[in-house]
A and B are shown apart, each in its own frame.
Chain A
Amino acid sequence: MEQYLTQAHGQAGLISGSFRDPSGFLFEENGVLYRQVNQSFQKSFDAFCESGLYEKLVKKGLLIPHKRVENVSPRTAEAYCIIQPERVNCISYPYEWCFSQFKDAALATLEIQKTSLECGFTLKDASAYNIQFHNGRPVFIDTLSFEPHTPGQPWVGYKQFCQHFMAPLALMSYRDIRLGLLCRDFIDGIPLDLASTLLPRRTKFRFGLLMHIHMHAKTQIRYSDHTKSTAGNQASISTTALQAIIASLRNAVSKLKWKLPATEWGEYYDMTNYDESSFSEKQRIVSDMIQSAKPASLWDMGANTGEFSRLGSSKGIKTVAFDIDPVAVEKNYQFMKQTGEADILPLIMDLTNPSPAIGWANDERFSVIQRGPVDMVMALALIHHLAISNNLPMEKIAAFFAKLGQSLIIEFVPKEDSQVKKLLASREDVFPNYNIEGFEKAFGHFFDIRQKTDIPETRRTLFLMSRKG
């Protein structure tokens, strides 16, 4: 592994998150993503491709399709072949998923393991980071995770599945939805002893949670000092029993629910001071602005349930709808699932503390900024929350948006607006420069203003800007 790391990191274009598995790694060349398969994994990879499992999983929409390429040079001497996987539009991480996204990712992983066992294969890991949302669905992206199943062997990925999926989902369901954010601190999943401590006692009366979290945590502690021995009789787990464990996990995950509470932003569109005509006028202006910039990719920051994001995604623009509120993101995801939308990805994001780069050398999982820039950023009804609620200087907000996108649609909400009045009602107004002149001056350092349009019957103004240089 160390030798592998030394060799792999000496090469340009390597994707930093794929160094753990010695079977191969991802790299980028001329903007195209490739995966090198190493000779050590040749037998398993060929067996996987020839078994029919690959076609089966791709047909079910559970595995990212790939093609073998011959015209790309291998990155290291251990290479067996190079494959080109279909590219996922925007990489997302478990700590950015709403409850149902997390649950769907867990169920997809179990369905893959079930299908693999039926074909004589097994997943050698069960990392939540192997699932990405692609064209609106959870898809497994690590083609090198499949190896022939040795009859009698347990599932190597069981521990990882429980830490990466069962524990966060149970905590989100039974304790607090915000506990999904623990995944950001625990990159290899939430330790089961911690999950067991945090979960309410009543979860011990649910068979699945009792076994896969509470008992699992106890056995981990009990056998933590266990020294491996080569002696011993042959104990084995039949494939039927293994399938029963997978079914038990699936049943336990399926039973986890999250009842949507009413939150600050959940009913936002009903609460604003827009009347119907000004709201539709705002939609028209934003739609025209998107049309004139013709972006291929769009990030809607503070998207709520994605009403305005859909002005982009409905035109085939690859759109990510970020919002801080898990309820809004959940509603957005439920809606896109129902309607079968493929071009919108709702994600949870606190813009005042966006996802950082984490993992080994702070280089395994990308920060939000590293995942950009995109063609267009939208920030509608957001500026007052950043500038006033979070005391962010206007220049810093402008600088952040300039890092994220080439063009920007932004709504300025003045102090005279009822929403801003509400924010200032219980605090001292220490924002003398929070006005449209100050806004234009601050953003003018980073952007050229291309269009400025007042929203009729409101005090708000929409801007279309292009990044300078």
Chain B
Amino acid sequence: MIDIQFFTTTLSSSLLAYLDPGTGSMVLQVLLASLLGGAMTIKLFWHKIKRALGLAGRKTAEPDSTENPSTSSNETPEN
């Protein structure tokens, strides 16, 4: 596993929660943030390029095949 000890010292010390957020859970969020946040940024950037080229609207860009937030929107309880 990627060693991200660097992040843990910072994140766990700067949070003053009444629950223990768990160091491992904090570390994983940093990892996920870079993976998923990066994917989302690329998606948004790609969308902007497509829009600039006048291609947007024909086909909506998807973040990736495994984690697509838009697919779940019709399954939220309020629907």
Interface residues of A (CB under 8 A from B): 1, 20-23, 60-62, 104, 107-108, 111, 124-125, 137-138, 150, 153-160, 162, 206-208, 211, 215-216, 218-224, 226, 228-235, 237-238, 240-245, 247-248, 250-255
Contact = CB atoms under 8 A, between A and B. Distances in A.
13 contacts: A22-B18, A124-B17, A153-B11, A154-B21, A154-B33, A159-B22, A208-B67, A215-B1, A226-B12, A232-B9, A244-B40, A251-B69, A254-B71
A223 B10 contact: no
B69 A223 contact: no
B54 interface: no
A193 to B, nearest CB: 10
Interface of B: 1, 5-15, 17-34, 36-37, 39-41, 63, 66-69, 71-72, 75-78
Given A21-B18, A158-B21, A241-B40, A235 B10 contact: yes
B13 A248 contact: no
B6 A216 contact: no
Contacts of B78: 60-62, 111, 137
Contacts of A1: 18
B49 to A, nearest CB: 18
A159 B21 contact: yes
Given A111-B78, A207-B67, A245 B8 contact: no
Contacts of A125: 18-19
Contacts of A160: 19
A219 B28 CA distance: 7
A251 B68 contact: yes
A112 B13 CA distance: 26
Given A219-B24, A222-B24, A153 B13 contact: no
A367 B54 CA distance: 62
A150 B21 CA distance: 15
A153 B25 CA distance: 13
Contacts of B71: 251, 254
Task: With a 10 A CB-CB cut-off, give which of A138, A242, A254 has the most chain B CB atoms.
Answer: A254
B30 A237 contact: yes
Among all A-B residue pairs, the 5 with the closest Cβ atoms? A241-B37, A247-B69, A254-B72, A232-B9, A220-B24
A241 B18 contact: no
Given A223-B8, A250-B72, A240 B25 contact: no
B69 A250 contact: yes
Nearest to B69: A247
Contacts of A235: 6-7, 10-11, 30
B66 to A, nearest CB: 4
Contact of A248 (B6, B25, B36, B75): B36
A157 B22 CA distance: 10
A218 B76 CA distance: 30
Contacts of B5: 226
A423 B77 CA distance: 40
A219 B1 contact: yes
Given A60-B78, A62-B78, A159-B21, A230 B28 contact: no
B33 A241 contact: yes
A251 B67 contact: yes
Contacts of A208: 66-67
A238 B18 contact: no
A216 B75 contact: no
A344 to B, nearest CB: 16
A160 B19 CA distance: 9
Contacts of A255: 72
A61 B77 CA distance: 10
Nearest to A216: B28
B77 A234 contact: no
B13 A219 contact: no
Given A159-B21, A224-B24, A235-B30, A154 B37 contact: no
A397 B67 CA distance: 51
Given A219-B25, A226-B23, A248-B67, A111 B76 contact: yes
A222 B27 CA distance: 10
Contacts of B76: 107-108, 111, 250
A218 B68 CA distance: 24
B37 A244 contact: yes
B1 A234 contact: no
Nearest to B65: A207
Contacts of A158: 21, 25, 28-29
A206 to B, nearest CB: 8
Given A226-B12, A231-B9, A108 B77 contact: yes
Nearest to A217: B24
A240 B42 CA distance: 12
B24 A156 contact: no
Contacts of A252: 67
Contacts of B15: 153-154, 156
Contacts of B36: 241, 244-245, 247-248
Contacts of B30: 154, 235, 237
Contact of A156 (B13, B19, B37): B19
